[in-house]
Structure formats: structure tokens, C-alpha cells
Amino acid sequence: MSDHDARRARNRTGANGTHRDRRRRSVRRAAGLALAAATAVGAGIAVAPPAAAEPECLHPSYDFDQDGEVDSVVGAPADGSVEVRFGTLGEPRTEVLTGDWGFGTAVTQLTSYEEEGDDELCSQLVVGSPYEDVPGKPAAGAVYVYYYDLVAEEFVLRGRYTADSPGVPGVAQAGAEFGASLASSASDVEVIDPRPRPLRVGSPGQDVDGARDAGRVTSFTLGARDDTPRDGELLSLATPGAAGDPTPHAALGRAISERAGLVAVGIPRHRVRGVENAGAVLLWLTDREPDGLYLINQGTPGMPGTPEQGDRFGTAVHVMGSALGPYNLVVGVPREDVDGRADAGSVAVGRVERFSEAPVRAFSGWNQNSPGMRGSAEAGDRFGTAVSSMFLDRWRAVVGVPDEDLGSAADAGMVQVVGTDAAWTQSTAGVPGAAEAGDRFGARLSPDPWVRHDNVPQVGVPGEDGATGGVLSRLPISPSAPGPEFWRGPVPGARYGLAVAP
């Protein structure tokens, strides 16, 4: 058996026994404290009764090993692998998890903490494997959830979940691609009295009400004491209040972003006013049910542009802002034509007021011809393929332009900050590597930059070195900031960096 197959076999092992072991360790720790107290009393030492600890997660999301440093997760789906790069307080180290081809297409984290002793469930690793077969249903898709065993110092599979799993609403379908996108609200600080948070799973190939590949998002939580999902919900344009109808091939759920009460779901091929592939975004204000759904597109009042065939508004979505809101929503429109240049691309940035009667406010449109932006809009740049944010003087939208040509290097790629002239390529001073044809620098941007100390997204470069792939861990935003690191994929063709978090 190869090392790859051995890791795959370990990751596919049923998790119930190991999960019970985790709970037994919590019980043993509590029993040890009680024994120590009893021994002290027997020795004549006055001991106060142990104070009840306040339930809390003491570390930010993505700090899987709880050393105080946020860990990085990189998917290499063409190799069927995910690499976790742990923080640097100790010796730098990595762990690789493997699965079928496509394992690692999407990655996120999830909390299932419910009470004292659930520390290992404060931030669990979630991996999407959307092209995985469910018996008799090719490419139905699956999602894997791992917790980090603090004693063994390795990830342990908690469960494999499909649309056919007990507790998951719906039924598995061939070609649904369950797990093509993932999201769950992350935290950058310790959380007092935490509760399990929902996991959002995109299935852009799901048929809905007879509309083929209309797409759907499945939500569920995992508790600390039971590996069976609960609180399951399905979201699609057939959901009451969605103000739209399922469109064939619309691919709802191809992109998802969530931030503390606001879920944004991309529908990049939705038909708008009879225009095919114009695209839309479904907003879900989760604390305003049953009337918290809002469908927006380029025909929405206050939205820049007009619905045009093939624009694909909603290819990428990102919710940025404080945990209390208001939020700024960033929407990628990478196939928007700009000044006659086909597929030059644009983004829309606007505010969503969580508690307002009219939550969707006016948006502004940006492209590479906008005042103050570096470069110029060119055919095929696909500005807006990826979107995220970073904190400079304030939180600002960050845009990936993976098909930007640099000299004779076609599709070398660029990353830009909206409203400024800040931009980076692999030819920028301080950025490792060199700009080469097909690198596609900026094809992916990490979704939760506020979790990181530098508040800057990581950059996926999946075309690097013949699609071996790479990730730029830090953008050189100032001379005083820590220097950038560049991580390369395991083998040619792996497309390492096609998913990256936080």
C-alpha cells in the first residue's frame, strides 16, 4: 500500500470509536481533578470546591491545535489532498489528508462546542469532495469533518456526510456536487458560551423542482455528543420567500460566504429577465426568518450595470465587516464586458444593513478602468473571479484577476485592492517567484482574513509550475510586516491552492 493509499484508508476509517475516546479523555481529566482534590482533603489540606468553569473557546477559528496561532488549510483537488500548515509557535509542521480526486475542492472550519471539555470541537476541519460517488450516483458528492486530537497530535475523522446521511435533509443525486462550496461563520477572538454553528454546503448541480442543475445549499449543525447532523435546512430558489424561480443550470451554491448572521449564495448562471447566465446572489439574513431572503442581480435598484448574457454575477461572493455589522458585500462579475472588452470583469460592493427594514443598500461598481485602480480593463482578464477583503486604513475589498496578462506572460494573474492603486503580481518586489504564463495568481483568495493576525487574505496560484500550484501566504503590504512565504504543491497537476483558508 502506498503512503497516499495508507493516508486515505486512515481518513476513511469510521470515527465513532475515536470520538468516544475524545470524550473519555475529558472524563478522565475531570476525574483526575476530583481525585487530586480528594487526596488533598485526606491529607488535612483545606480545599475550596472547584469553581464551575465558564464555557468558552479560548482560541480563534482555524487554530486547530490550540497553540494560539491560526493554521492554514490548502486544497489540491486534482491530487485529492488537503494540507494543513500549523502555526509557527513551535517547529513548523504540516499534516496531509487525502481522498478521491476532487477532495479538497472546498475547505472551511466548523464549531460544535456545547459545554466544558469540548475544546477539540471549537474549530473542526471540513473538506468538500464534490465529485465523489455515492452508491449508484456518480459525483453526488461528500463532505468530511475532522477534529484535531490534542493528545495524538493529528486529525481524526469525525464523519463523512452526504445528502443521503441520516440527519442531512434531502436525497443524494448524481451530479449534484454536494460539497463544491462550504462556509461557516468564523471568529477571530475567544468566544464565551459558544454554541454549535451551522455548516453551509453548496450543491450547484442539484436539480430543483424539475430545473436541472438549478442548485441548492444544505445547512446542518453537529453537536458535541452526537455525530448525527441536526437542524437541517434546504435553501434554493424554490424556498418560500426567495422571490425567484429555479433556473436550469443556474448553479446556486457555486459560491457561499457567511459572516455572523448574513449568508450570501452565488447563482452565477441564473436567468434574469430572460437573459441567460446573467447571474444573481441570494442573501439570507438568518435571524430574520421567515422573511430574511433577498434576491439581487444587476437589475436590482441601486445595483450598477445591467443583466447581460454571460456576465455571471455571483461567481464569487464575500461578506466583510465586523461581527455586529453592518456588512459590506462583494460580488464578482468576472465575465462583465467593460468598454467593449469582453470578459474584462467587474465587482459590485455595497452595504447590507442586518437590522434594517430595507437591508440592501446602493452598490458601487468597480473594474480596472475605475479611477485610482492600477492597470486597465482588457479582454479576458476576468477581474472578479475571486473576492475577499483586507484591513488597510479600513476594511477594503480585494479582487483576484487570474487571467491578467503581464507582458508576454498570458494569464499570469494579479490581485488588487478596490478603491486604491494597491496591486500585486509575482513580478512585484517582495513577492516570491516570477510571473509566468498560466500561473493564474489570484484565482483564489482565502475567505476569512479577519481571523489572521495580519487581516490579509492568502492568495491561491493553482497554475504555478505546470499546475503544481502554490499559495502566497502573505502579501507584502508594508516594510514592517512579516515577509511573504510561498508554498508549492506536492506534484505536477495537483492544482494546489484551488482552495485556501482562512
* Digit-coded pLDDT (tens) for 442-469: 999 999 998 887 889 999 999 999 999 9
**pLDDT at position 33:** 37
**pLDDT at position 194:** 73
| In the predicted structure, residue 266 carries a pLDDT above the cut 60 | yes
**pTM of the prediction?**
0.89
| In the predicted structure, residue 9 carries a pLDDT above the cut 60 | no
DSSP codes joined into one string, 403-456? T--BTTBTT-BEEEETTSS-EE-TTSTT-SS---TT--BTSEE-S-GGGSTT--
**pLDDT at position 290:** 63
End-to-end, the C-alpha distance of the chain in Å comes to: 33
**pLDDT at position 35:** 41
pLDDT confidence tier of residue 243, bands split at 50, 70 and 90: confident
What gap in Å lies between CA 128 and CA 201, rounded to an integer?
A: 8
Q: How many other C-beta atoms are found inside a 10 Å radius of the C-beta of residue 26? A: 16
Burial of 369 (0-12, 13-18, 19+ CB in 10 A): middle
Q: What is the mean pLDDT of residues 10-29?
A: 40
What gap in Å lies between CA 137 and CA 172, rounded to an integer?
A: 7
The pLDDT tens digits of the residues spanning 129-179 come to: 999 999 999 999 999 999 999 999 999 999 999 999 999 999 999 999 999
Give the residue among 362, 293, 299 at the shortest CA–CA distance from 333. Answer: 299
Residue 90, SS3 per DSSP: coil
Residue 329, SS3 per DSSP: strand
| In the predicted structure, residue 379 carries a pLDDT above the cut 50 | yes
Residue reference for cell 452595504:
351
**pLDDT at position 89:** 57
Pairing of strands 181-183, 199-203: antiparallel
Q: What percent of the chain lies above the pLDDT cut of 90?
A: 71
- Do residues 452 and 440 touch, judged by C-beta distance below 8 A? no
- Do residues 431 and 484 touch, judged by C-beta distance below 8 A? yes
Mean of the per-residue pLDDT values for the chain? 88
| In the predicted structure, residue 45 carries a pLDDT above the cut 60 | no
**pLDDT at position 16:** 35
**pLDDT at position 1:** 42
Residue reference for cell 492568495:
459
What gap in Å lies between CA 22 and CA 33, rounded to an integer?
A: 17
Torsion of CA 486, 487, 493, 498, to 10 degrees: -80
The pLDDT tens digits of the residues spanning 115-128 come to: 888 889 999 999 99
Q: What is the mean pLDDT of residues 185-211?
A: 89
The pLDDT tens digits of the residues spanning 270-312 come to: 999 999 999 999 999 998 866 799 999 999 999 999 999 999 9
The pLDDT tens digits of the residues spanning 422-441 come to: 999 999 998 998 999 999 99
**pLDDT at position 289:** 67
**pLDDT at position 195:** 85
- Do residues 103 and 125 touch, judged by C-beta distance below 8 A? no
Q: What is the mean pLDDT of residues 2-16?
A: 41
Q: What is the mean pLDDT of residues 245-258?
A: 97
What gap in Å lies between CA 118 and CA 198, rounded to an integer?
A: 17
**pLDDT at position 38:** 44
What are the respective helix, strand and coil percentages of the chain, to the nearest 5?
10, 35, 55
What gap in Å lies between CA 425 and CA 260, rounded to an integer?
A: 32
Q: What is the mean pLDDT of residues 388-404?
A: 94
What gap in Å lies between CA 266 and CA 245, rounded to an integer?
A: 15
Residue reference for cell 487554530:
63
**pLDDT at position 323:** 63
| In the predicted structure, residue 223 carries a pLDDT above the cut 80 | yes
What gap in Å lies between CA 134 and CA 136, rounded to an integer?
A: 6
- Do residues 162 and 140 touch, judged by C-beta distance below 8 A? yes
Residue type, 432: P
What Å distances lie between residue 212 and 69, 249, 314, CA to CA? 44, 6, 19
pLDDT confidence tier of residue 5, bands split at 50, 70 and 90: very low
| In the predicted structure, residue 397 carries a pLDDT above the cut 50 | yes
Domain ranges in the chain are: 1-46+56-198
Highest mean pLDDT among 268-272, 357-361, 369-373: 268-272
Cα 21–chain centre separation: 29
- Do residues 254 and 315 touch, judged by C-beta distance below 8 A? yes
